Chains A and B, each alone.
Chain A
């Protein structure tokens, strides 16, 4: 689970021009990761067995993933782990996947649920790379999931351009979650109270036995030269007049100037 800036945030670029200024932002649980947490809770409820662990890595000093982890605990997760320390800062999807993989190898698991993408970097990468690094299968962008505990397998539906792929895979497996999978619950008041007692452990790179050189900015494969606002569109033209005049003008423009019709 990644904590990301709220989707309504107004973003400003830092002086160096290669990142956003996070100092005044409010943060939320990545919306796709809410689907992942909810699905894990529903599977546990359905099977009447199992344990839900939420894992997050602090990628920037200004992030407060503890808050997001508490939210997940309040939703009903059993325990939370935070990967924390300067070694994890900066970096790219690959270093994130590398760090999460090392932590996951220290935990028992059958199912690994991720969001289909983090809405800040829009990567859509980390879950699939964790699967590759662990050497296990993945099904990405899943909007329907059946779990068969006896055969230790899943059947997942994933939306592709012209249809739905129905995919089978055995445990352990990575699933990345898409909207439509479920309706994430809101933490209840008793849930929030209980969450305060639940374990939230912090692990450093020593705890997960990984060389800091493989993490964060020093392990990254990519560097961001700069971030910039999207190219400004020319100010639009409002077509005036009555319906018929405006529509005729629009069709003329789309035909003659834009060559679209």
Chain B
């Protein structure tokens, strides 16, 4: 189908990731004006049951690669499945989330197909000739680059999470679903995932959370992170940390937001006792709403913040958590 966009919808443990649905939504939005079909692909060991659901998010056709051997992610295998499918469909673009998995598959896939790759897009536009013009942050978000493929060829893009809205259409249970045969040529040595150790245990993962409350050196010690955690719980969000807090050993590195940590793009980011160094901004400047709580009115975080409270976080956070809880109760 030359007139199609192929979207890889990532799942882990049978759970579809939001970002795959966001990619479908964006592909649908790009495609409707030019009559492009939206082909979704899911890969894993027990995934077929989600195939029908994808119609509600904009898919017009679903390809399923299901096999026990796909239970654990494999870059080589997943990229081969997608490149074989792309060779057949000849889509105008392949789109997936800029997740740990997506950012790992996309470079292999683009190299296999000898085609252009744009990682971590925050905006996409389709030209009349069906090529995609993509906007992506560079230099830790200090600049945006607007890029376009040199020739009219298929391109691979990964999209940043929480940036593109997912659709919610009426599910169409009769969209075509096709099961893919697994690639057979396995002569090369491949990397194998031996196990996945859960670290976050039930808590919402940082990069997917719609609201993040982060703490920095201003918290003074690990025990005070509970102030941040209580606010995050009240807001239904996740907890993050600055590098100073991580380096001090108050939180593991998986909590770190910034240049050498995670890049997040939540609806709302609350920075508590974080100065807002450029390397911290690199990880959070694309949040829709930024709230800063800091005792120093000259802290750089206030230049970025949508709303700020200048003051002592030890006074502010408990009151804020209380007020949020009160409101929640009232609205419930």
Mark A residues whose CB is within 8 Å of B: 5, 7-9, 11, 13, 20, 31-32, 92-94, 97, 119-126, 128-129, 131-133, 135-141, 143, 155, 158-170, 173, 179-180, 220-231, 233-234, 236-239, 243-244, 246-248, 250-251, 253-255, 258, 260-261
Contact = CB atoms under 8 A, between A and B. Distances in A.
B261 A247 contact: no
Given A7-B259, A243-B311, A260-B267, A119 B117 contact: no
B302 A238 contact: yes
25 contacts: A7-B140, A8-B278, A9-B139, A11-B139, A94-B111, A122-B137, A124-B119, A135-B188, A138-B108, A140-B75, A162-B12, A162-B198, A165-B72, A165-B193, A167-B191, A221-B110, A221-B149, A225-B146, A227-B143, A234-B306, A238-B302, A246-B316, A247-B316, A247-B319, A261-B327
Given A119-B140, A138-B191, A161 B146 contact: no
Interface residues of B, number: 98
Given A122-B137, A165-B73, A233 B100 contact: no
A222 B150 CA distance: 5
A231 B304 CA distance: 12
A123 B118 CA distance: 8
Contacts of B70: none
Nearest to A180: B253
Contact of A119 (B139, B253, B268): B139
Contacts, number: 257
A236 to B, nearest CB: 4
Nearest to B305: A236
Contacts of B136: 122
B309 interface: yes
B116 A221 contact: yes
A257 to B, nearest CB: 10
A119 B282 CA distance: 10
Interface stretch (B32-40, B86-94, B167-175, B204-212): B204-212
Given A94-B117, A179-B253, A120 B191 contact: no
A124 to B, nearest CB: 5
B248 interface: no
B146 to A, nearest CB: 5
B317 to A, nearest CB: 9
Contacts of B142: 11, 229-230
B278 A166 contact: no
Interface of B: 12, 72-73, 75-76, 79, 99-101, 103-104, 106-108, 110-112, 114-120, 133, 136-151, 153, 155, 188-200, 205-208, 211, 235, 253-254, 256, 259-261, 267-268, 278-279, 285-286, 289-292, 297, 302-311, 315-316, 319-320, 323-324, 327-328, 331
Given A129-B107, A168-B191, A243-B315, A163 B198 contact: yes
Nearest to A230: B144
A261 B323 CA distance: 11
Contacts of A131: 108
Given A125-B117, A135-B188, A140-B104, A246 B143 contact: no
Contacts of B133: 225
A11 B311 contact: no
A160 B328 CA distance: 32
Contacts of B106: 125
Contacts of B306: 233-234, 236-237
Given A224-B147, A227-B145, 17 more contacts: A11-B143, A124-B107, A128-B107, A135-B188, A167-B192, A221-B155, A222-B118, A223-B149, A228-B146, A230-B142, A231-B144, A243-B311, A246-B316, A247-B319, A251-B323, A254-B289, A260-B211
A222 B149 contact: yes
Contacts of B253: 143, 159, 179-180
Nearest to A140: B104
Contact of B193 (A7, A166, A253): A166
B198 A230 contact: no
Contacts of A128: 75, 104, 107-108, 111
Given A166-B193, A173-B191, A239 B111 contact: no
Given A97-B111, A141-B100, A179-B260, A167 B194 contact: yes
